[in-house]
Amino acid sequence: MKILPATEANIAKAAKAILAGKLVVMPTETVYGLAADAANPEAVRRIFVVKDRPAENPLIVHIADAGQIEAIASAFPEAAQTLAGRFWPGPLTLVLPSAGSVAQECTGSAGTIAIRMPAHPVALALIRTSGRPLAAPSANRFMKLSPTKAEHIDPEIAKQVAMILDGGPSEIGVESTVVDCTNSSPRILRPGGVSRGDIEAALGGPLGSLPSHLPRSSPGMYSRHYAPRAKVLLVTRLGPEMTGLTFDEPANDRQIKMPLSPSAYASILYDCLHRLDFLGVEELAIQAPPEEPEWEAVQDRLRKASA
């Protein structure tokens, strides 16, 4: 495996690889990303091949300072500025009208571009050292579990990248919240690391809602996604023979007791699923978390893992 510690020397090597059109797996605070130079169409196309991702699913472009937005987005509405000011660097992605400076493969069908400034020092260092905005989806195969540790990376993906920079476990543990800011009232396309409540508090009002028939304007909206190999069942309580995640005292050593705080739960969720999946069991049972707004991102991932 090409897992390398994220030292300054290795980050410099990774930046060279990016500039040569290669792919690098980089740590972020949400999940590990499969990064390429966002301005290099060939490199961006390779991301889709390596992930086995449908071409119509646009990518998030990662920046290291707000000055980079001007070149990438043709408008930066006030609400988006407020959210960037409050949550960047961090687990928030803003969808803005594209200025057309990055590879077309990164942009959505309506000429939009998703932009995020990650809070991980290694991701920021890689963006700065390469001097390029980096297109980076989660570094998993399409529909599979996102990696939150270097060791989670699928060997098939590892083979096709220049290197995997190991930056330790991703602290947030679920993907960024994606907010569409191309309309007068911003709305969440994918719940994630920043809660709806915190976004509404920052905006001083409620977010817009999505039409229920919305087609796949966002790949995060496929009903199955984020899935381990095993079949996932959401249950009210785990039976003593089941393998899975519980809030109760574990009844066997294939049950993991999960924290009752949504952020602590999210932080370890994918790692727990990777670990249990590694046991090779056929079924994973997950005790459903409380139906409360702070659990929105976790609920979304569990629903999609079990669909």
255: part of which helix (H) or strand (E)?
A: strand 255-257
Please choose which of ligand TXA, Mg ion, none residue 28 contacts, taking the beta carbon within 5 to 8 angstroms, the exact cut-off set by kind: ligand TXA
- Given the complex with Mg ion, which of 90 and 246 has the nearer CB atom? 90
Q: Which does 217 bind (CB under 5 to 8 A by kind): Mg ion, ligand TXA, none?
A: ligand TXA
Q: What is the token pair recorded at 287?
A: 């005790």
Q: Does 218 bind ligand TXA (CB under 6 A)?
A: yes
Give yes or no for residue 28 binding ligand TXA (CB under 6 A).
Answer: yes
Does 228 bind ligand TXA (CB under 6 A)? Our answer is no
Those residues whose C-beta lies under 8 Å from the C-beta of residue 210, and which sit 6 or more positions away, are: 187, 188, 189
Nearest residue to ligand TXA on Cβ basis: 220
Q: Lay out the sheet containing 255-257: strands in order across.
A: 231-235, 283-287, 244-246, 255-257
Cβ atoms within 10 Å, residue 28 = 30
Q: Is residue 217 near ligand TXA by the rule CB under 6 A?
A: yes
**Smallest gap, in angstroms, from Cβ of residue 233 to ligand TXA?**
24
Sign of the Cα torsion 139, 142, 143, 144 reads negative
Looking at the Cβ atoms of 198 and 281, the one nearer to ligand TXA is 198
Q: Quick one: which of 68, 112, 130, 195 contacts ligand TXA (CB under 6 A)?
A: 112
Q: Which is nearer to Mg ion, 147 or 262 (CB)?
A: 147
Provide long-range contacts, Cβ within 8 A and 24+ apart, for 254-261. 254/279, 254/281, 258/287
CA distance linking residue 221 with residue 219, whole number of Å: 5
DSSP 305: H
33 binds, among ligand TXA, Mg ion, none (CB under 5 to 8 A by kind): ligand TXA
Cα 75 off chain centre by:
24
Min dist CB 11 to Mg ion, Å, is 23
Q: Which residues bind ligand TXA (CB under 6 A)?
A: 28, 30-31, 33, 58-60, 91, 93, 95, 107-108, 112-114, 116, 118, 136-138, 175-176, 178, 189-190, 217-220
